Amino acid sequence: MNIIDVKNLSFCYGETDVLDNISFSVEEGDFVGVIGSNGAGKSTLLKLLLGLLPYNTGSISILGHDRKSSRAINGLCYVSQKASSFNSAFPATVREVVTANLYPKLGLFHRPKKEDFALFDKVMEQVGLTGCENRLIGHLSGGQQQRVFIARALIASPKLLLLDEPTVGIDSMSVEVITELLRRLSKQGITIVMTNHDTASLVGLSNKLLILSGEGDCRFRRKADLSSGELRRLIAGGVFFD
């Protein structure tokens, strides 16, 4: 079973056509970099995969579920560009923000068990935030906050992680920490679909690339199938579509 199957998908906002008859499949363990200029439809595509936007033409299957409805799919987690838009007065600790994402799995009226606390400790270690558990999230730096949101996704044991520009507005040290973390998660077999303004870094992480033309169509390629010239042009922001 593919992790994602998109077939003949078209989408428009009113008069604005964004995606025109695109198709691609993502396999388990893939790291897919979604590339395209501003307004090409990257965030729109992620929102469609998340079930946040209704579509009429084509089909989307995620982890074996038809994406026609917006209900939560077990194993699907999303990390948005939270750090720079986060309300720093939000009165919750890191522990509360991360463990809140256990409840879809546990059910609202079940208390976390010993193994859930162990999982919490593990994801905090994975994101390098051990020791920050009881700090208020609003008191952390942007990069630390973003790692909290990644921990929040990880505690739900995702099979598929969607990330929309997760390192925007974050200093270069934190970007490096998050990039390394994503590389490790990918090696562990989590399937990742991600957009990023830093195309060179994204291409470095990815094994497949979904390149949106900005005119509605896309190319889906294994990185290994692209020539070094094509990769260079892509990273330089050049036109890939001839």
Ligand X SMILES: Nc1ncnc2c1ncn2[C@@H]1O[C@H](COP(=O)(O)OP(=O)(O)OP(=O)(O)O)[C@@H](O)[C@H]1O
Does 196 participate in binding Mg ion (rule CB under 5 A)?
no
Q: Does 43 bind ligand X (CB under 6 A)?
A: yes
Q: Which residues in 171-200 contact ligand X (CB under 6 A)?
A: none
Nearest to 140 by CA among 201, 98, 100: 98
Q: How far is the CB of 96 from ligand X (least distance, A)?
A: 30
CB of 197 to Mg ion, least distance (A): 9
Of 24-32, 42-50, 57-65, 213-221, the window that binds Mg ion (rule: CB under 5 A) is: 42-50
Q: How far is it, in rounded angstroms, from Cα 152 to Cα 157?
A: 10
| Helices 172-187, 114-126: crossing angle, 10 deg rounding | 130
Q: Which range in 35-43, 57-65, 147-155, 175-183 contacts ligand X by CB under 6 A?
A: 35-43
Task: In angstroms, give the least distance from the CB of 46 to Mg ion.
Answer: 8
Which residues have C-beta within 8 Å of that of residue 51, sequence separation ≥ 6? 67, 69, 70, 71, 73
Local structure of residue 93 (DSSP, 8 states) = B
Residues 10-29 that bind ligand X (CB under 6 A): 13, 16, 18
Alpha-carbon gap, residue 136 to 201, rounded angstroms: 31
List interacting residues with ligand X (CB under 6 A).
13, 16, 18, 36, 38-44
